[in-house]
Each structure stands twice: as structure tokens, then as C-alpha cells.
Amino acid sequence: MLKIGGESLLGDREYGIDPKAVLLMAEKIKTIYAKDVQIAIVIGGGNIFRGLSASKNGIDRATADYMGMLATVMNGLALQDALEKVGVPVRIQSALQMPTVAENFIRSRAIHHMEKGRVVILAAGTGMPYVTTDSGAALHALELHCDVLMKATKVDGIYDKDPMIYADAKRFKTINFKNAIEMEEVQVMDTAALAMCKENNMPIMVFNLFDNGQLEKAIDGKDIGTYVSNEAPTVLV
């Protein structure tokens, strides 16, 4: 399961979708598809609309979250188009019913697509408000029996404090779920997503998507980013 932030489709823009950035993302996914890896993708919508931010500015939280889900569908369609352009077979499924543009999410059908060698893009989160796309990615990873939930971000792992602010921030090589949940300064995913993965032994790998070759190295099990599991010791680099 690959969780990608909507910001990865921004490119040089401040808002929206940059076709060049989407095509670059598709090329990165193609490199791991060529390794015969079964791939499911959950993509966020922060480049278009953030439900939580909108709710803080006066929009009803449930309404704002549904608007955010629609943003993820738009991103999913853009990524589907780019993957098709680079020759990767792909299907998009939505947790919200919109059969004109996407299949309804059906677990068995998603698994079938993956077994047939198709990349599956899972849009609209869980289809329910008050739930983040991180939690959606965790839920879908469990439903589809994925081996690992890979969160592709702008930084090369999980740090003991914000590396964008503190020059002396140190990266965790590995960290266990208990510490990831209890350490307030550690930002990985929202608590609900972490708790779901903890309870069901779904490991998480966090790495920098924008460094060349990092996605491929992550798939190959190379020592990059931060690995989170119940058994992992908490180790700083």
C-alpha cells in the first residue's frame, strides 16, 4: 500500500495539479511496477482542498470532509491518466459512489485487479467524514492483505522533532508503534491510523518520495527512511 500526499502533484504550483508532476509520479510508480509488485495507492487531496482546515474556517466538518474526498477523486483520476500514458494498467475505485468516473470500492474486486497485475488507486478515503486519508490507507492496507503500508513524504523518515525547524533533529531508523503514538513530538500519521496498524501488526515505512530512486529502494527493502512496527526497537540514527 502506497500512501501519497496530494502535495506530490503540485509541482511548482501553489494549488492544484501540475500535469508534469503527475507524469513524474507515474514514472516513479512504473519503476516498482516493473518489479512485479502488487500495488494499491491511496492519494490525499491537500493540493486541492483540506477538509480539516476548511472546517476550522466555518464549513461544517462533515461537509468539509466530503469536499476533501472529492479532491482525492480528482487526484486519482489525474494519476490514473498519467499511469495509462506510461503503459501501466490501472483501475480507480472510489469509496463514494460515482460510477461515471470510478468503480465503487469492492474489496474482492480490488484484490482481483491486483492479482491480474493492475495498479489500484483507492479514492475518497473511507467514504466517511471525520476520518483522514492516513486512516483510509491503513484500513485499505489491512483489507487488501498488504505486506506493508508505505507513506511517501517530503522528508526522509520520522524525526525526534521537526527537521524543518531544528537543525539538530535526528531521524529514527526504526521506532515501535507504542513510542510513535505516545511521543507527542513525533509526527507519523494520525493516532487512529497508527492504532489500527498497531492492533493488526501492519508495519509502516516512511521515506522521502522526492529523492531519486527512494521509492525503488524502499520496495527493495533497503535501509532508508524509518520503519515502524510492534517489534522494532526505537533507534535514532
pLDDT for the residue numbered 237? 85
CA distance 150 to 11: 21
Same domain for 63 and 108?
Answer: yes
pLDDT for the residue numbered 141? 98
Is 16 a residue whose pLDDT tops 80? yes
Same domain for 175 and 103?
Answer: no
Structural domains of the chain, count: 2
Same domain for 107 and 52?
Answer: yes
pLDDT for the residue numbered 51? 74
Look-up: residue for cell 492492533?
199
Same domain for 112 and 220?
Answer: no
Q: Are the C-beta atoms of residues 110 and 144 closer than 8 Å to each other?
A: yes
Where is 94: in which H helix or E strand? strand 90-94
Query: Which tens digits make up the pLDDT trace of 66-118?
Result: 999 999 999 999 999 999 999 999 999 999 999 999 999 999 999 999 999 99
Query: Which tens digits make up the pLDDT trace of 125-134?
Result: 999 999 999 9
pLDDT for the residue numbered 24? 94
Q: Specify the pTM.
A: 0.94
Query: Which tens digits make up the pLDDT trace of 157-174?
Result: 999 888 888 889 999 999
Count CA atoms within 13 Å of residue 80 on its CB side: 20
pLDDT for the residue numbered 211? 84
Same domain for 95 and 199?
Answer: no
Same domain for 114 and 213?
Answer: no
CATH code assigned at 40: 3.40.1160.10
Query: Which tens digits make up the pLDDT trace of 22-64?
Result: 999 999 999 999 999 999 999 999 999 877 777 778 899 999 9
Distance of CA 68 to the CA centre of its chain: 15
Same domain for 137 and 166?
Answer: no
pLDDT for the residue numbered 53? 77
Q: What is the mean pLDDT of residues 6-15?
A: 91
Same domain for 131 and 160?
Answer: no
Same domain for 177 and 229?
Answer: yes
Query: Which tens digits make up the pLDDT trace of 170-228?
Result: 999 999 999 999 988 787 788 999 999 999 999 999 999 888 889 999 999 888 999 99
CA distance 235 to 9: 32
177: three-class secondary structure by DSSP = helix
pLDDT for the residue numbered 165? 87
pLDDT for the residue numbered 139? 97
Q: 193 lies in which domain range? A: 150-237
